[in-house]
Chains A and B, each alone.
Chain A
């Protein structure tokens, strides 16, 4: 970097450094970058269910954030006294949701687990905008199945489907403290996207 370049724009492909960049330009650019960037507190952690390991996995760089968000969920949902059991049930919950997403994948764009009104919420973003009665029935059936599963007795979760919206609009439905993006399997039993190598995962046992 030459001495005339006050800022090298490292990590920002949109920024093109010019010689003799003024401090004001740098500050303006930095503020714009801040406005466009999701704040760390709102960062969504991607959870992947691994059939081979029978557990939830996250990427290594998200491991600590996952732990923090899980601890927050345990506290908010007042499950500190049964923490280990609660985390095992969360693991089972993710497996259940992933299977359901796969069964309905032609109608789903994304699925989030977040907190809403003092319980977990599973928020499905549809691939189509139009309301779909059959899909709503399937979602209600999932909700009832989870609620009546004796192995998920510590998990209180409500479900809802949203039409496709921007991340900004979506943020109104996600608790910034706890929000996980649920993704299908990477293991051998479930379908996997072709043409991509299996991503390196950090094994984060929820149990």
Chain B
């Protein structure tokens, strides 16, 4: 919530936190279906790509990908010193796109699919508690 108050100031962090929220939701879904928790990204992705979780994967993977770019893609000039197309994370994804594509579409979409997977009412209630209802509009 703190980061969302200033979306244009910390888009990389919003992307990263959105992904890790998705991780927690996916892990809760796994538990509710009797799966063990995953301790690394590769094993989690391997489960998500297969039924009955493929629809979760469609929203989860872009969140993972964007968080990797936000954290690890460094801008470097090429040998001629010419600037590349990517210089900062906002060249890739504007603050508004972080809100619209990553959170409103992917994360909220993933929350909706997770709700369908949960059989336990407590899980559904807890997920609704952490849902962010009012997303900001970037000025």
- Knowing A140-B61, A143-B57, A165-B86 touch, does A158 contact B92 (C-beta < 8 A)? no
Write out the residue numbers on chain B whose beta carbons fall within 8 Å of the beta carbon of A165.
73, 75-76, 84-86
A144 and B73 contact, Cβ closer than 8 Å, known pairs A129-B92, A169-B84: no
What is the predominant secondary structure among interface residues of chain B facing chain A? helix
Tell me whether A139 and B61 are in contact (CB under 8 A): yes
Shortest Cβ gap from A160 to chain B (Å): 5
User: How far apart are A103's CB and chain B's nearest CB, in angstroms?
Assistant: 18
B85 touches A169 (CB 8 A): no
Report the minimal beta-carbon distance from A24 to chain B, rounded to whole angstroms: 24
Knowing A117-B41, A140-B58 are in contact, say whether A166-B78 is a contact too (CB < 8 A): yes
Chain A interface SS verdict (over half): mixed
Question: In the complex, which residue of chain B has the Cβ closest to the Cβ of A131?
Answer: B93
Task: List residues of chain A with CB within 8 A of the CB of B93.
Answer: 130-131
Pick from B50, B57, B86: contact of A163, CB under 8 Å: B86
Interface residues of A (CB under 8 A from B): 36, 117-119, 128-131, 133, 136-137, 139-141, 143-144, 147-148, 156, 158-169, 172-173
Please name 6 pairs of A and B residues whose Cβ atoms are closer than 8 Å in the assembled complex, sorted by A: A133-B62, A140-B61, A161-B65, A165-B73, A165-B85, A166-B76
Closest 8 CB pairs of A and B: A147-B49, A129-B85, A166-B78, A163-B86, A136-B62, A169-B76, A168-B76, A131-B93
List 7 extra interface pairs beyond A133-B105, A143-B61, A164-B84, CB under 8 A. Answer: A128-B85, A129-B85, A130-B91, A144-B49, A165-B73, A168-B76, A173-B72
